Structure formats: C-alpha cells, structure tokens
A and B are shown apart, each in its own frame.
Chain A
C-alpha cells in the first residue's frame, strides 16, 4: 500500500518535472523577448544578463506604436537618414490584419460551402476532391509562389495586398476544405431532415442547424488559416516591394538592416506580433471541443 502510493507519487513528480522542463524550454524565448523589450538600452547588454529588468521602460512600445524615430537617441541628425522600420510598424500591423482576415474569411466561406456540397449532394468526384485537395496542401508553398507571382504580374496585382490575400487562400483553402469536409461528414443528416420536417427551408436548415453544429470545425479551420497567413514570410517577401505594403513578418526583418540593431525595438515588435494570435487562440480554443455534435444522436 505505502509502496504503491510512494511509487505513484514518484511517477507524478517525474511527470511534473518533465512538463515543467518542456514548458520552460518553450516559453523561455518568449519571456526573454518580453524582458528585453521592457529594458532600457543600458541594460540590454548588461553582464550578467538580467531576466527581470531592474528598471522597466515602455519606450520601445511607445516608439513602435507612435511611429517615432528611435534609432539613435541624438534626434535631428538621424531623422534625416531616411525612414526607419519603427515608423512603419503600425502600418505593417494593419496590413497583416487585413491580409490575414481577408484570406481567412474567403477560405472559410468557400471551404464551408464546398464541404457542405461535397457531403450532401451526389455528383461525380465528390469523394475524390477532398483527398486531392489535401494532397495539394502537402505540396510545399515554395513551389506555388513563383507561378502565383507570375499570375499576379499578369493581373497587375503585385505590390498589392490583394495578391497576398489570394496567395494565402491558395495555401490555406485546400486544408480548410478537407477539414470542413471531414467535419461536415460527421454531422448526422437526420438533424437536417428533422429541420426540413419542422418547416425550415434549405437555407434555414443551413443557417440554423448546420452552421452552429459545424462551428467548432469552422473555428479550427479559421485558427489554422490565420496562423498560416499571419506567420507567412515567403509570399510577403516575393509579392510586395514597397515599404507601405509590407506585412509584419517581412517588415520586422528590416530591423536587422543597417549597422545598428536595436534589440529592444525588435523584441517589442516580436511581442506585439505574437499578441493577436495568442489572444485569438485563448479566446477560441474553448469552442474547439465544446459541444462538438454532442447529444445530437443516441444516448
């Protein structure tokens, strides 16, 4: 008895130790970035390094969000050296939000409707399309990017946020469609038939019964699509060439250019870049599993 409890306590302790190690390993870079972004310049290269800043400052965040020049704290002279990345930060942020939400919206609408059609109507190829689309997702995006770029040139969409929206739709739509297809397949057709008998039109059935039931799938697909679009570097790098139209991932790389890298500013930018995805994920993950088709059928 005691030996048994001792053994299980040991196992539990080992498990927690393992979990803590993994958590620290995963979180350390994030915490370090946050810490650095809050330090005044004098403390960033202090030896020994400090994890918790002795004195905290929000000057890096202020600089990014207000677009103020921050490189050399000497003022006038550096302003004349041309625009700096910090001045474009808010602009890039908005660009990222636009292309991410635009491509996610298109991907979700198209994939939800496609999945509904594929699972509820009979036509040739309805069983093969999802698999081919999954196959399409597995092709590395580096293979897509140049053909797509040539298409954007033809469409005269280069250096335009729309080109990114379409590009991201191309990489996220196949997987979203496969995901929604798998999800829709698990929704019992009887609940739609019950609604039809209750008096709903086809459209009402879709809006009142299918969509709410498919919501966890829609949220999963949205999160996937947003992460891919938000974190993309390749498309942003190839399709866009003016500073005004860059997205965050490509823009933040410009902080490395020049002879002087302002680490505090760079880390603050990284933290601000992480926040939207983290907040979204925390807000939505509850819906991912909750109430997935529960209780529709049988007992």
Chain B
C-alpha cells in the first residue's frame, strides 16, 4: 500500500517541527527518513502511525485519507526505538498480543508466533520475559511483534541504534531481507546515513523539519540538491571550498580550478561553494592551474584507505582519500588535483545546487 503525505505540518505549541512535508512512498518500497537528531523524523513517523495529531495536511494510505483513523485501524506495525516490549508478558505473549487482542483463534496465534519466532531465531526465548533478554534479543522480539500481524505498513524508528556496531551491520542485511519477505511498505527512520544508503530504495533527507531531498541512494549521493544533503551524505564527509565563478572556472585565492562544462552558463562573479568528496581528489607531482598546493597536516589510516588532511591557502583544510599503501607523510608539500566531473557547485546564498538547477 502506498503512503502519501500531503503538505504535512506539525507544531508543538508555537514551535513548528515539520514544514510542508510532501512525500509519496510507493507500495512495498523501503523508504528511509534520514536526518540529524531533532529534525522531526520520529514525529513524522508517529503521525503516520496515528499517535500524533496532524496540525495541517493529509495522510493517505492508498486512496484512503487516514488523518482521523485510530492507530489500531490502520493495519500498521511499529518498532519503537526503545523496543517498548510489554514488561510483564513473556516473549510468546508479547509476540501474540496483537493477534489475541484482535480475537484471533488461539491455535492461529500459536502457529503465527512460532513461525515468526523461528524466522527470527528466538524460538528458544519464548518463555522468557523481556527483562531476561539481551539488547539484541529484545530488538528481535520487537521486530517479531511487528511482523506477526502481516501489516500493510511497517514503521521502524531507529531500531538498530541500541545495538553494538557489529550486530548493527548484520541486522542491516536481515532487516532488508525481512522487508522483502513481508511485502509491506516500510518506513524506516535513522540518523545514520550509512544505514540509509545500504538499506533503502528511497531516502528522504530531512533537516529542521523540511524535506531537503527525496530520491534513491544513488541520487542523494551523486546529485545532492543542496549543501546540507551534500554534507550529510557520504563518509568521510565532502570537502567544501568557498570562492567565485570566473569565466567557467572556480577561483579560490591563487588557483583557478576548472569546473564541469555544465557550469559555463553560471553568471560570472557568483559567490559559490564547491563540494568535492575525498574520494574524488588525488595527489599530483607538479603544480599546475588545476591543482591546489598544500601541506599534509594529518594522516589517518582507515583500513584499506588512508585519509590525508591537507592544509591549503587561507588556513583551509581539505581531506583526500588515498590507498593505504600510498607514501604520504606528515608535513609533506603536496599538490591536490580535482576530478572535474565530480565537483558539486552550490550557490553560497541559497545553498542550493547550481548544477542540479541547470540540468
């Protein structure tokens, strides 16, 4: 079932939290709401669940407006960030509660609970209480409780944030598999861009209650709509340099760097910020108009790569990602070259991408 959010606004008292959110989540897709803490992701998810009033706008499930529908009539399931298991019930009771309260015959409840427990590999925990489980086990119970009812829409609020790093990586793959099994539209909330990139069909990047960009992971990564998205997506983060456009080149202090052909139409003299990812920078041996001169100020080994921080003119720093076996030393004089085609250009004033606007 597809979910349509139409000009959703929300304020708590006089404080606006969501502003004109307009999104369509296609049926059976894995959609992620991504943004820093406090940007309104949880609030939006709770509005979809019916736990929070809508100040203005409409939510549709399919063709049906659900603004005034009680949570239990929406056929949704939700995994809370805190898991919110029923503390006095065993795992079996926790899993089956949604079915029991909907007057499902006992035998059906039992078989559904057993089935989900087997899929999630928690069948040996069925008679324990939540207090006797580890964080990872609780998380699976919360997941199971949501899966057991075969919901149309599956809502998850940072379900992995309380797990340790290793478990988080394995659970990413599992959640993705469960999504495919469940055949439901999944709305997933996270502040972790890596989680969003690896799991989602579509990502809505949010900031201060406003949707900044809505697109596939490839789109938000390679064609960020504005400075915020460019800086939020990708790791290590994108480098930003301020300067002016001058006859198709980007002028920063002494250097004049070439820009992608598309930028020729930009008005000369425009104040811009260019963004380039550390992966798209490289070291060259000789100085030239396409390269920035600088001194290596930090070398960080990331494993298979090294992250080199270079101090360039005006005390600016940029980071360059190179292979781990590169021989770069602290204090070395280097020249950094840009991969012209992967440079992003943003209007300094509006913070919007100049390139995307021209496409």
Give chain A's interface residues, CB within 8 Å of chain B. 188, 190-191, 193-201, 204, 208-209, 212-213, 215, 291, 293-299
Contacts and interface: CB of A to CB of B under 8 A. Distances in A.
Contact of A199 (B85, B87, B98): B98
A298 B85 contact: no
Contact of A195 (B70, B87, B97, B133): B97
Given A294-B131, A295-B131, A193 B84 contact: yes
Contact of B135 (A194, A296, A299): A299
A299 B134 contact: yes
Contacts of A291: 87-88, 129, 131
A294 B51 contact: no
A197 B138 contact: no
Nearest to A190: B84
B102 A212 contact: no
Given A295-B131, A299-B134, A213 B88 contact: yes
Q: Please tell me the size bucket of the interface on B.
A: 35 or more
Q: Among the interface residues A198, A200, A213, A293, which one has the most CB atoms of the partner chain B within 10 A?
A: A198
Interface in B82-129: 82-89, 97-98, 101-102, 129
Contacts of A190: 80, 82, 84
Contacts of A194: 78, 80, 84-86, 145
Given A198-B101, A198-B145, A191 B77 contact: no
A291 B84 CA distance: 15
A212 B88 contact: yes
A231 to B, nearest CB: 31
B281 interface: no
B101 A295 contact: no
Contact of B101 (A200, A293, A294, A298): A200
Nearest to A189: B84
B49 interface: yes
Q: Among the interface residues B85, B102, B129, B145, which one has the most CB atoms of the partner chain A within 10 A?
A: B85
Contacts of A293: 87
Contacts of A209: 86
B97 A298 contact: no
A295 B133 contact: yes
Q: Among the interface residues B50, B131, B145, which one has the most CB atoms of the partner chain A within 10 A?
A: B131
12 contacts: A193-B51, A195-B101, A197-B76, A208-B101, A212-B86, A291-B131, A294-B87, A295-B87, A296-B82, A296-B86, A297-B83, A299-B138
A208 B149 CA distance: 19
Contacts of B84: 188, 190-191, 193-194, 296-297
B132 interface: yes
